[in-house]
């Protein structure tokens, strides 16, 4: 998947001199204590390379989603920081777009308006934002459903709307919080492939939280394995599964299966039974 990165075509971000080799996101010694004294994160540090897809995986309660929300600027860290292109994160910004586990679609709005909502909040004029949204709704394969309402769609289709909304704002970094957790298995596989295809056309840095080892190995360039009690990064690995042979081929390839087993072995010790 690294082949979709073409450093020369990257847009320059105002105010920052960037080296293509620099990580897009640095997470530095992040700690989070929730009200009531629950320690959700305890010294989490890792880098997210530009233009790649990085998964964060770990047992439930290890702080994956908390980390992602701090990167998004939706939560404040208790200590430590997140840097995006060298600038510390203090709040949500136009350089990041979030895809929610429960889709977070507005039930009162059509697919098109939902997909355009990020642009609407940024004050993009109606015609322009609807044109952009229409384009991305088509890209995620929902052209026929532009005027449908979320409750008329299946879970998988709803998440496609969530993805279209995130892509439409053209943010450099895509944050995905267990995007396929509420989608059934068959749809999920199709969706994973569609996601990879879409991302190969869009030059994005993706951070992808999941609890599925198979999913992480299948989609990722890099995997951050987190553990619980204390919540820390246990390992960062780069499986580098070759995607040239199609999904059936990959899922049977020894390299893929080997990585799944290795990560399973890594996580096994932290599971509750």
Partner 1 sequence: MELRGYRLPMASSLLVWFALWEVIGRLELVSLIPPFTEVLRAFAEVVPTEDFVEAATITLQAFLIGMALSFAVGIGLGIAMGRNRAIGSLMGMWVNIFESSPLTAVVPALMALLGFGLPTMIVTVFVFSVWVIALDTQVGVERVNPSLIEMGRSFGASRRVLFTRIVLLAALPELLAGIRLGLIRGMKGVVIGQLLIAVVGVGYLFELYSRNFLMPEFWALLIVLFTFAFLASEAVAYFERKVSFYASSR
Partner 2 sequence: MTGLIQVRGGRTVAKAVDRPWLLRAASIALVLGLWEWGGTIPVSIAFPKFSETLAAFAGMITDGTFAGAYAETAGPLIVGVSLTAVGGVLAGLVMGLSSRTEWLGLPVFIVLQASPSAAIIPLITFIYGIGFTAKVFAVVLLSAPVIVLNSYRGIANTPRSLLEMGDAFLAGRFKRIVKIVIPAGSGLIFAGLRLGLAQGFTGAVLAELLITPTGVGDLITFYRSVADYPRMFASILSIILVASVSVTLLQRLEQRLFRPEMRPA
| Residues making contact with partner 1 (CB under 8 A) | 69, 72-74, 92-94, 96-98, 100-102, 104-108, 117-118, 121-122, 149-151, 169
Please, what is the angle between helix 155-168 and helix 111-121, to 10°?
A: 30
* Closest residue by Cα to residue 176 from 246, 102, 264: 102
3-state secondary structure of 47: strand
Please, what is the minimum distance in Å from the beta carbon of residue 141 to partner 2?
A: 34
77 is in the binding site of which of partner 2, partner 1, none (Cβ under 5 to 8 A by kind)?
A: partner 2
Contact call for residue 90 and partner 2 (CB under 8 A):
yes
Residue written as tokens 């749809």? 187
Contact call for residue 78 and partner 2 (CB under 8 A):
yes
Give the nearer residue to partner 2 in terms of CB position, either 40 or 219: 40
Query: Is the separation of the CB atoms in 23 and 47 below 8 Å?
Result: yes
Sign of CA dihedral 87, 239, 59, 225: negative
One symbol per residue from 203 to 242: x for binding partner 2 (CB under 8 A), - otherwise; what is it?
----------------------------------------
Query: Is the separation of the CB atoms in 110 and 85 below 8 Å?
Result: no
Give the nearer residue to partner 2 in terms of CB position, either 77 or 119: 77
Query: Is the separation of the CB atoms in 161 and 105 below 8 Å?
Result: yes
Give the residue, chosen from 6, 45, 60, 79, that forms a contact with partner 2 under the rule CB under 8 A. 79
Give the nearer residue to partner 2 in terms of CB position, either 6 or 90: 90
Query: Is the separation of the CB atoms in 198 and 192 below 8 Å?
Result: no
Rg (CA), the chain: 18
Q: Which of residues 17-36 bind partner 2 (CB under 8 A)?
A: 32, 35
β-bridge mates for residue 205, sequence order: 173
Give the nearer residue to partner 2 in terms of CB position, either 78 or 200: 78
145 is in the binding site of which of partner 2, partner 1, none (Cβ under 5 to 8 A by kind)?
A: none
Quick one: tokens of 201?
A: 């056309």
From 78-86, 138-146, 154-162, 173-181, give the range in contact with partner 2 by CB under 8 A: 78-86
Residues 6+ apart with CB under 8 A from 78: 31, 32, 33
Give the nearer residue to partner 1 in terms of CB position, either 69 or 188: 69
Contact call for residue 6 and partner 2 (CB under 8 A):
no
Binding site for partner 2 (CB under 8 A): 32, 35, 76-81, 88, 90-91
């Amino acid at each position: 998947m690294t082949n979709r990165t073409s450093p020369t075509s990257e847009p320059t971000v105002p105010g920052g001199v960037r080296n293509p080799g620099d990580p897009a996101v640095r997470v530095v010694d992040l700690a989070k204590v929730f009200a009531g004294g629950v320690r959700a994160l305890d010294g989490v540090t890792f880098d997210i390379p530009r233009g790649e897809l990085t998964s964060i995986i770990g047992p439930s309660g290890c702080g994956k989603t908390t980390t992602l929300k701090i990167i998004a600027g939706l939560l404040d860290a208790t200590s430590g920081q997140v840097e995006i292109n060298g600038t510390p994160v203090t709040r949500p910004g136009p350089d990041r777009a979030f895809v929610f586990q429960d889709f977070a679609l507005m039930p009162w709005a059509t697919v098109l308006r939902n997909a355009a909502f990020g642009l609407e909040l940024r004050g993009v004029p109606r015609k322009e934002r609807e044109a952009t949204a229409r384009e991305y709704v088509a890209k995620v394969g929902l052209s026929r459903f532009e005027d449908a309402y979320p409750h008329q769609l299946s879970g998988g289709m709803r998440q496609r709307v969530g993805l279209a909304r995130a892509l439409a704002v053209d943010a450099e970094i895509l944050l995905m919080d267990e995007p396929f957790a509420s989608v059934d298995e068959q749809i999920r596989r199709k969706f994973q492939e569609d996601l990879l295809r879409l991302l190969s056309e869009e030059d994005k840095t993706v951070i992808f939280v999941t609890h599925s080892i198979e999913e992480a190995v299948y989609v990722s360039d890099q995997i951050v394995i987190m553990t619980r009690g204390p919540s820390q990064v246990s390992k960062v690995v780069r499986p580098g599964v070759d995607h040239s042979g199609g999904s059936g081929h990959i899922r049977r390839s020894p390299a893929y299966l080997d990585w799944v087993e290795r990560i399973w072995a890594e996580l096994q010790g932290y599971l509750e039974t």
